[in-house]
Amino acid sequence: MITDQRRHRAGTAGRGTKASAGRRYPDDVEQHARGAQRINRSNGARFLAEPPVRIIGALTIRSDTHVGAFTEFGKIVEIQSADVGRYGEIGPGSILGAISHPTTWLSASAFQYRASTWGWHPSADAVETVDPEADGRTSFRGTRGEEPAVIGNDVHLGANVVVLKGVRIGDGCVVAAGAVVTKDLPPYSIAAGLPARVLRRRLPDDVVEELLRLQWWRFSPNQLSGVPFADPRAAAAEIGRRVDAGLEPYAPGFVEIVKPTAPAPASRWRRAARRLRG
């Protein structure tokens, strides 16, 4: 069962949809994740998404990741440890959930909390290099302990943005290109810089309050057709009327997206021939 925190991370807007380990789409995956062939996963990481999502360029997944519907990833994006909500725009070259090296520890080196850094070397078998209370070369007592980064709904990250592990970016935020986000950002903030600082709010406070109440990202683009997007106040009013009239949220549930296997040339030829025959 997905907790309230996980619902927020995954952009489900509190609808409680489940990430089902049994629902995998290797054959018709392009119907759920356009560009799924560009996904690279390490350490058995799972990519769980509410379809549809779009992947423009190489996307590297280093830990289990939940992504909400209608989110788009630019080229060469790396998710080290993060969950992303709905209607996200993740700029090219961005890194989500990056580990920050500890500056107040004995060292800034990762050896203190990641045994694999040097555990492959024979020196790891030397008694003096191994914590006597740990399990040989595979475990060290040092740990960072941060939660994954949480990227809210309707968030735009410019090119080459870095979001540190444990940071929460609120719904509706815009982060300028090249920013390094080291602290939480409140909803509907515009932030820039290194480290990123809030410049201002995107919209008036009363409009932000209404949009957060409505959680408009619960709905699909087709359900929002005809909404006056260029006027956020009028858009909120129109969405509110539709909700009051019984508009049901789009809730496809999460599916595991796996990288499709390219068919053999002969198989592609046979498929093309079948299409021509009608």
pLDDT computed for residue 262 by the predictor? 63
Q: What is the tens place of the pLDDT at every residue in 111-131?
A: 776 666 776 777 766 655 555
Q: Is the pLDDT of residue 244 over 60?
A: yes
Catalytic residue flag (residue 101): yes
Sort strands 197-201 and 189-192 into parallel, antiparallel or unpaired: antiparallel
Domains of the chain by start residue, with CATH: 4-99+146-203+254-277 (2.160.10.10), 100-145 (no CATH)
Give the pLDDT band (50/70/90) at residue 10.
Answer: very low
Q: What secondary structure does DSSP assign to 141-209, as a single string? A: S----PPPEEE-SS-EE-TT-EEETT-EE-TT-EE-TT-EE-S-B-TTEEEETTTTEEEEESS-HHHHH
pLDDT (average), residues 19-40: 67
Distance, in Å, from the CA atom of 113 to the CA atom of 56, rounded to the nearest integer, reads 34
Sort strands 254-256 and 47-49 into parallel, antiparallel or unpaired: antiparallel
Q: What is the tens place of the pLDDT at every residue in 56-82?
A: 999 999 999 999 999 999 999 999 999
**Catalytic-role residue among 32, 66, 101, 156:** 101
pLDDT computed for residue 108 by the predictor? 80
Q: Which residues pair with 41 in a beta bridge?
A: 61
Reported pTM:
0.78
Give the pLDDT band (50/70/90) at residue 3.
Answer: very low
